[in-house]
Amino acid sequence: MDMRRPPRTVSDPKVRQVGFVTPSVAPPTRSLSDAPTTVAAAAAALSASSPPSGEISLPGSSLSPVMIPPPRHASSDGRPSAPVAVPNPASSLRRDSLRIRVGSYNASEVVLGTPPSASPSSRTDYTASEFSEEAMSPWHGRSGTAKVASSFPGSSSEMIVMKTGVVGGGGAGSTPKSPLTTASVVKTLPGISEKEREVLMGTQNDGAGASKTLKEKTTKAERRALQEAQRAAKAAAKEAGAGVKPSAASGSAVAANTKQGKVVKPPPQKKDGPQIAPPSGTSEKKVVDRPPEKDRKKDVPAPRMQFDDKHRVEKAKRRAVVNQFEAKNRVELFRHLPQYIHGTQLPDLEGKFFQLDPMHPSVYKVGLQYLSGKISGGNARCIAMLLAFREAIRDYSTPPEKALVRDLTAKISSFVSFLIECRPLSISMGNAIKFLKNRIAKLPDAMSESEAKSSLQSDIDRFISEKIVIADKVIIRHAVTKIRDGDVLLTYGLSSVVEMILVYAHEVGKQFRVVIVDSRPKLEGQVLLHRLVAKGLNCTYTHINAISYIMHEVTRVFLGAASVLSNGTVYSRVGTACVAMVANAFRVPVLICCEAYKFHERVQLDSICSNELGDPDAISKVSGRKDLNHLDNWADNENLQLLNLSYDATPSDYVSMIITDYGMLPPSSVPVIVREYRRENLWI
């Protein structure tokens, strides 16, 4: 089948996904015969003025996820045959013969005006795509008609009919969904101006783009994105002028992002191209999104957005409070992670401090502190967030006709998404949020608002004191038993709990020496060094380059962790894995100090799928060395990508022991703790 393209060297999750899902798809209901009926039904429904999304889900419930990809194929496959193909220098590389063949095949098919009778299932995706591609050229004309139509609010149903006719002519009605959505668009915004219409199309397009990531269709983020898309459409209708800009800006961003053009062709038809296909994508997406909704509860905290999906990113950007600019030249494997030009919007945001309505000032402040890097470290960030939430809860009052439980949860969620925009959540924060939401959900109905608020505040206080402060004390007590006189302890970077352990061990009179290993660009170890030396500890400071040299004199390695995952993998500051590996090679025990609230039931095998990208400029510049200017203007060279990873995953083989508030455990016991801890969490 066409979808089965040979695997590419470039890893593109979307492409892989498409290839994977296609064969099973084949919704037979999508046959030619029942298309008109669905359309008619939809039209009827539309005239009944029911919400479009609900309507569309009806015929499409049989749709399988496969249907999502079309828009993208439309953009990629359509190009060769489409007369108005936008020149894309990179695209020629990607265009393999297979695809071209597909395009021509499609073209002939369309000319015939009948869908290929053979294997209707196999063609499902392609009909949609070819369709859109065919539609592309007529669209210019047709979009005009659409606009005209849309300017007459009353005539929406007629327009649908008309459009269906057009569609039927082009693609033999094989894709009823596309007219459907278009219709729905018209329905939602009857009588908007042309400009608005265009904006709308843009959003629709984005929606379609979002739908491309099959991968994420079940995720909360995506559902959210969908909602946001609808909201954005409304907002766009309201303020048309303002709305146009972001899409234009994003378009330019796409153009600038030449690197990305290699993998997935940027949709150059941004303005004029995929008007039909994208809506179809949207409709499908709406449909597809229905069933997994019940899973929503499971994925808290929400999985991260895949940032290699431009449309989603653009959309997210539009709704974002923090307008960050994406960095260019990102490393292939890490495209799915957000990367921004550091601190681009900080001054702007600071200026907006007093105007920001929905955000509580304390949350806003914490967000800015994350953004600027003033607060870092798992515990510090978590505590700051919880305290901000506590303040927000204190100042919260339930709006009339709303329930505290629901409204506050929504409120917290909006805070969280703001914080995510500032900096991706750490797992510890995710767990804390989970705890808080759980507490909110468990509030008894009878409780008065003030009682509920004070109970929540005390819950937050309790979480901080029990899970973080006291937990740290317990960890220190355990860890000190493992320090003997004459030991040489090595630590890496800056971990608050390791620092406390070392200071405490010194206070109780243990005789030991500390080796602090550090690394660029954060050089957090210097902070630790400074504090320890001030306390009178005997320290050695070195960089990670010297790790193999220094390790042979070390007797214990103490490391902090951002999180410990179910398979015992330790997720921590980048470089930790290297230190642990070297220690293991030298048979030096590696002790991980981590509070149990940072444990997570996820399993991760590499550092790629979930990570955080730092500012690439941080590694290209060396402070105080003006002569090292070889990497100046590196962003202009598209062959050069810089990677500044924040975390890495240490396999459990290298870990001798994990010291938690539940005692000293082997890495294999993490799932036990997760299990017990969870249960306990429910009890609280």
Residue ranges that bind another protein, judged by CB under 8 A: 482, 484, 556, 589, 591, 656-657, 662-666, 668-669, 672-673, 676
Shorter beta-carbon distance to another protein: residue 24 or 481: 481
- Block residue for tokens 């980048």: 574
Shorter beta-carbon distance to another protein: residue 304 or 482: 482
Rounded-to-integer distance, Cα 49 and Cα 37, Å: 18
Shorter beta-carbon distance to another protein: residue 603 or 628: 603
Q: Could you say which DSSP state residue 151 is in?
A: H
User: Of the candidates 324, 413, 415, 323, which has an alpha carbon nearest to the alpha carbon of residue 363?
Assistant: 415
CB of 589 to another protein, least distance (A): 4
| 512-518 and 538-543 beta bridge pairing | parallel
In this structure, the chain runs to a length of 684
| 487-492 and 556-560 beta bridge pairing | parallel
Q: Which helix (H) or strand (E) holds 228?
A: helix 220-238
Shorter beta-carbon distance to another protein: residue 93 or 585: 585
Rounded-to-integer distance, Cα 646 and Cα 311, Å: 25
What is the DSSP track for 81-93?
H-TTPPP-TTHHH
Q: Could you say which DSSP state residue 353 is in?
A: G
CB of 183 to another protein, least distance (A): 58
Shorter beta-carbon distance to another protein: residue 587 or 625: 587
Rounded-to-integer distance, Cα 590 and Cα 669, Å: 16
CB of 560 to another protein, least distance (A): 18
What is the DSSP track for 233-300?
HHHHHHSHHHHHHHHHHHHHHHHH-HHHHHHS---GGGTTS-SSHHHHHHHHHHHHHSGGGGGGGTS-
Shorter beta-carbon distance to another protein: residue 485 or 636: 485
Shorter beta-carbon distance to another protein: residue 277 or 514: 514
CB of 63 to another protein, least distance (A): 45
CB of 1 to another protein, least distance (A): 45
Shorter beta-carbon distance to another protein: residue 234 or 484: 484
Q: Is 545 helix (H, G, I), strand (E, B) or coil?
A: helix
CB of 475 to another protein, least distance (A): 13
Positive/negative CA dihedral, 592, 595, 598, 599 = positive
Rounded-to-integer distance, Cα 368 and Cα 363, Å: 9
User: Of the candidates 546, 649, 562, which has an alpha carbon nearest to the alpha carbon of residue 607?
Assistant: 649
Neighbouring CB atoms inside 10 A of 484's CB total: 11
Q: Side chain identity at 136, as an amino acid letter?
A: M
What is the DSSP track for 581-642?
HHHHHTT--EEEE--GGGEES---SSSSSS--B--HHHHH--TT-TT--TTTTGGG-TT---
CB of 618 to another protein, least distance (A): 36
Shorter beta-carbon distance to another protein: residue 218 or 656: 656
CB of 593 to another protein, least distance (A): 14
Rounded-to-integer distance, Cα 197 and Cα 142, Å: 13
What is the DSSP track for 461-477?
HHIIIIIIIIHHHHHHH
User: Of the candidates 211, 24, 4, which has an alpha carbon nearest to the alpha carbon of residue 96?
Assistant: 4
CB of 504 to another protein, least distance (A): 19
Shorter beta-carbon distance to another protein: residue 405 or 564: 564
Shorter beta-carbon distance to another protein: residue 581 or 643: 581
Could you give the dihedral angle defined by the CA atoms of residues 134, 140, 142 and 147, in that order, rounded to the nearest 10 degrees?
Answer: 140
CB of 427 to another protein, least distance (A): 21
CB of 478 to another protein, least distance (A): 9
Neighbouring CB atoms inside 10 A of 453's CB total: 21
Q: What are phi and psi of 510, to 5 degrees?
A: -75, 145
CB of 468 to another protein, least distance (A): 19
Rounded-to-integer distance, Cα 346 and Cα 348, Å: 5
State how far Cα 406 lies from the chain centre: 24
User: Of the candidates 321, 344, 175, which has an alpha carbon nearest to the alpha carbon of residue 253?
Assistant: 344
Shorter beta-carbon distance to another protein: residue 126 or 597: 597
CB of 591 to another protein, least distance (A): 8
Rounded-to-integer distance, Cα 589 and Cα 312, Å: 45
Shorter beta-carbon distance to another protein: residue 395 or 553: 553
CB of 567 to another protein, least distance (A): 12
CB of 673 to another protein, least distance (A): 7
Q: Is 573 helix (H, G, I), strand (E, B) or coil?
A: strand
Shorter beta-carbon distance to another protein: residue 642 or 673: 673
User: Of the candidates 196, 162, 160, 201, which has an alpha carbon nearest to the alpha carbon of residue 180?
Assistant: 160
Shorter beta-carbon distance to another protein: residue 93 or 672: 672
